[in-house]
Amino acid sequence: MKDSTISEQVFSLLTIAILIGSAWMVYMQDNDDLNLDNRVPVWARNQLPYDTTQAYSFVLEQGQYELLETGNEFNSEHIYVEYDLPIGEGGAAITCQVGMDCPQISLAYWRPKVPAGVKVPVIAEFGPYFGETSAQTPDVSQPGSWLGAGIIYNILPHGFAFAQVSVTGTGMSNHCMDLMGFAEQEGINAAVEWLATQEWSNGNVGMIGKSYDGSTPWQAAMYGDEYLKTIVPISGLIGVRELMWKNGSSEARAPFMHNVVYGSYGFEEDKGDQNLQNACEDYLLGPIHATNGYIFGGNEFVDSYWEERYFLDRVLENYRGSVYIVQGFHDWNVDPHMAVPTINTLLDSGIEAKVLMGQWDHDYPDRPDYQKQRSDPGRGSEAYPQMVRFDWMQDLLEWFTYYLQETGPKPSLYQEIQNNRGEWRVEERYPAKDSNVIEMNLGSNNLSLVSESLMGSTVYPLMETADDWIVFETGEYNSDFRFGGLPQLHMDVTPLSSGGSIYALMEDCSAEGECIHIGHAIMDLRYHEGGDELQNIVPGQTIRAKMEFFAMDILIPEGHKIRLSLRDIGEDYLPPSTQSAVDIDVSGNSVLRLHEINVDDKIFFEPPVCLHTDCVEE
């Protein structure tokens, strides 16, 4: 779930930051009427003096504290946190019983140089990548160039400590690489408690990270620990099975990726006897569970493995802190359904939460170079460079100041949403409650059938012909049309055997016939009710397939039209283990449901203008 190559260099960031730091101080001295203690609303931030020329975002005003020096070149302290595991977990839980190594978590931390008696909160990143050569990442004692260096320079000087923590079986943490399971969760919780109970800590801990590192905050939040005050999951998982299966359909990587790729972190030559501690049941049986998950569409007869690795229900039950979700609409590494409708579920449970969703992919919101490189037509490029958020680091500082230092005005809990044409707006919830529901029946005048597949109105598995689609189109819109959230496609379909799947592609097509991707949906018809319960399929019997698209936010320009295309599979998904030809009812009973944005009551805004070379070059 993390990029395999890290191009940023830690000290290049710090060097850039030092050069611009004095410029900020000069500006602040010349503009002492600007009171940063008063939160500037998001729609007015483009009036503030953010440096928008660099490869990262920076806070507006440098903090007053220096980094506390230590005995190593990175000014970090490294320790091990021991914790208990039941013997049934195997690995280090067993070796501990015979006087050998007990379970322990490796972590490093950085502190600001504050006056004696001043206690500071801790911001922490937990993940499997520190010191793993297969991922080309630095040791846990060295600031991570993807996030750690930025926090140490920008936020630590304002009175925060920062920590990096290796999860079980990775880096210098022993035991098994438990892939977000119980042992990993226990180690995370133990490290949170250690960080909160040090004599220099004020007892408040916040967690942040992207991808796998954005999933560990959800794991920690399950415990409802009083010390964990806020989490910032960036493209993080609310559950492992939920990442790999959508409506029963399996991603191509689902049967093997996590247990093979991440499991390899537990076997490296320089770990010596630590490799002996990988004799854990879940570690050994993980590939079997993944294979069974594919056979049964993400379900199986013994599902305790997946229940252990589903976090959201226990977060809702136990957690009392805040949540700041960051997610890309075009992140197909960690799909956007991890954030939507999760944000509304959090709000409905009384948890203070916000979401920042732009048209980037598996990335941070403030990286103009990466965002440009990874944005193609229909995959974010239409929203570049407006997607780059150079106010993000300042936003994090204000968030952590309130929730960890417990000072300053409360951040605005706006849902900040960007559509595919680059427009940003504010929502109270997402999907929004005040949307206008528009229904279009497949085969009717407003969504007419324009092309059938080689099999007529039937999609058939493994047909590789490029035009093997059933295609519907709207008419051309006579004004801009905005819709967003979770479009639904409820269809009457007839599987001709005991399974089958449907893939739906939605495109924006210009009058000249140029089409770009705007969204897609996928369903294993054994899950045609839209939930996670396996349904029986009777060959030849018509069923109602209740499909839901991945989250999208779309502007269809005047003169363009929507195209909806159907076939059996697509978008990096595997055919179901029970393939079947499926007849699609095109007589008008099936319906595409869109949620039109109520623009009259919305605040649209422009973020600080990106002046990085990737943003301004032609």
Q: List pLDDT tens digits, range 210-219.
A: 999 999 999 9
Cβ contact 163:169 at 8 Å: no
Nearest to 56 by CA among 359, 418, 391, 328: 391
Q: What is the pLDDT of residue 258?
A: 56
Lowest-confidence segment of 44-58, 301-315, 386-400 by average pLDDT:
301-315
Residue 405 maps to a domain: no
Whether residue 16 has pLDDT greater than 50 = no
Residue 154 maps to a domain: yes
Lowest-confidence segment of 251-265, 297-311, 392-406, 409-423 by average pLDDT:
251-265
Q: What percent of the chain has a predicted confidence (pLDDT) above 70?
A: 83
Q: CA dist 348 to 221, 318, 341, 344, Å?
A: 17, 14, 11, 6
In the chain, the amino acid numbered 134 is: S
Q: What is the pLDDT of residue 243?
A: 82
- Average the pLDDT over 279-294 and give the result: 65
Residue 341 maps to a domain: no
Same domain, 441 and 300: no
Whether residue 457 has pLDDT greater than 90 = no
Q: What is the pLDDT of residue 12?
A: 47
- Average the pLDDT over 424-435 and give the result: 96
Q: Which residue has the higher pLDDT, 272 or 492?
A: 492
The whole-angstrom separation of Cα 558 and Cα 73 is 58
Q: Which residue has the higher pLDDT, 78 or 408?
A: 78
Q: What is the pLDDT of residue 14?
A: 46
Residue 613 maps to a domain: no
Bridge partners (DSSP) of residue 354 are 324
Q: What is the pLDDT of residue 527?
A: 87
Whether residue 398 has pLDDT greater than 50 = yes
- Average the pLDDT over 413-420 and give the result: 96
pTM of the model: 0.91
What pLDDT band is residue 465 in, cutting at 50, 70 and 90? low
The DSSP secondary structure of 362-379, one letter per residue, reads SS-TT-HHHHHHT--TTT
Average pLDDT of the chain is 87
Q: CA dist 540 to 296, 500, 537, Å?
A: 21, 12, 9
Whether residue 468 has pLDDT greater than 90 = no
Domain CATH for 524: 2.60.120.260
Q: What is the pLDDT of residue 30?
A: 40
**Where is the domain boundary, 275, 308, 341?**
308
Structure tokens at 229: 């005050």
Structure tokens at 360: 């980037």
Burial class (CB within 10 angstroms; exposed 0-12, middle 13-18, buried 19+) of 131:
buried
In the chain, the amino acid numbered 603 is: I
- Average the pLDDT over 544-557 and give the result: 96
Domain CATH for 262: 3.40.50
Cβ contact 156:65 at 8 Å: yes
Residue 416 maps to a domain: no
**For 230-271, how does the pLDDT look when each residue is reduced to its tens digit (9 = 90+)?**
999 999 999 988 887 777 666 666 666 555 556 666 555 555
Q: Where are the alpha helices (DSSP H) in 173-239?
A: 182-196, 212-221
Q: What is the pLDDT of residue 466?
A: 56
Q: Which residue has the higher pLDDT, 199 or 17?
A: 199
Whether residue 274 has pLDDT greater than 70 = no
**Where is the domain boundary, 259, 274, 308?**
308
Q: What is the pLDDT of residue 570?
A: 84
Cβ contact 518:557 at 8 Å: no
- Average the pLDDT over 567-588 and give the result: 83
**Where is the domain boundary, 262, 286, 308?**
308
Bridge partners (DSSP) of residue 207 are 124, 231
Bridge partners (DSSP) of residue 201 are 120
Lowest-confidence segment of 110-114, 306-310, 376-380, 551-555 by average pLDDT:
306-310
The DSSP secondary structure of 490-528, one letter per residue, reads EEEEEESSS--EEEEEEEEE-TTS-EEEEEEEEEEGGGT
What pLDDT band is residue 272 in, cutting at 50, 70 and 90? low
Q: Which residue has the higher pLDDT, 461 or 41?
A: 41
Structure tokens at 329: 């609409």
Cβ contact 518:506 at 8 Å: yes
Structure tokens at 511: 């009058």
**For 34-64, how does the pLDDT look when each residue is reduced to its tens digit (9 = 90+)?**
344 468 899 999 999 999 999 999 999 999 9
Q: What is the pLDDT of residue 29?
A: 40
Residue 411 maps to a domain: no
Residue 162 maps to a domain: yes
**Domain span at 202:** 10-308
**For 55-112, how does the pLDDT look when each residue is reduced to its tens digit (9 = 90+)?**
999 999 999 999 999 999 999 999 999 999 999 898 899 999 988 889 999 999 999 9
Q: What are phi and psi of 216, to 5 degrees?
A: -60, -30
Residue 134 maps to a domain: yes
**For 323-375, how does the pLDDT look when each residue is reduced to its tens digit (9 = 90+)?**
999 999 999 889 999 999 999 999 999 999 999 999 999 999 999 999 999 99
- Average the pLDDT over 270-280 and give the result: 58
Whether residue 20 has pLDDT greater than 50 = no
**For 374-386, how does the pLDDT look when each residue is reduced to its tens digit (9 = 90+)?**
999 999 999 999 9
Cβ contact 502:566 at 8 Å: yes
Q: How many domains does the chain have?
A: 2
